[in-house]
Amino acid sequence: MKNFSFSRTPLAGLLIIEPKVFRDDRGYFMETYNYKDCKRAGLNVRFVQDNQSRSKKGVLRGLHFQRNHPQGKLVRVIKGKVFDVAVDLRKKSETLGRWFGIILSATNKKQLYIPKGFAHGFLVLAENTEFVYKCTDFYQPEDQYGIIWNDPDLAIPWPLEKIDTTILSNKDRNWPKFRDYNFK
């Protein structure tokens, strides 16, 4: 039984995953992850940590990455809506410095697999949004880095039209630009 569809993006390794949703008058049921299905699709990774955050509308988190302990992430929204972004940081990649963005929501149930070697961030588009993700490596606070969200060289068109105030942490407000790093 095929419970997921996997779609490639313009950035190698970055996958959109759509679960099959079984609906009836009681509600719905879906698998959110299946190792065998993912492995058949070429996604043969081991997840070691699950995270969940809740944010109010206008919160922008990112663009985060770990250099020495890079994490692959399988991300999704269980309540609300975000604009999710991944930036390719792989120096030998033909798409180094390019980004991909997608709307993830509790309604569309789409997931994004972000491989190691990418920066990740998201803008919350609905109140009390809950965001969950699986990671392939543990979070290492001493290995936390980031790129400023509004880097003019990346030119990410964050959908700010319906956002009254963009809310950022001090770290996210002060990250360096993409060009300030030497990605290996």
Q: Which residues are catalytic?
A: 64, 133
Give the total residue count for the chain.
Answer: 184
Residue of 111, 125, 43 whose CA lies nearest to 83: 125
Residues contacting 174, CB < 8 A, separation 6+: 148
CA atoms within 13 A on the CB side of 55: 22
Torsion, Cα 141 111 123 105, to 10 degrees, reads: -140
Roughly how many angstroms between the first and final C-alpha of the chain, as a whole number?
A: 41
Cis peptide before 63 (omega within 30 of 0): yes
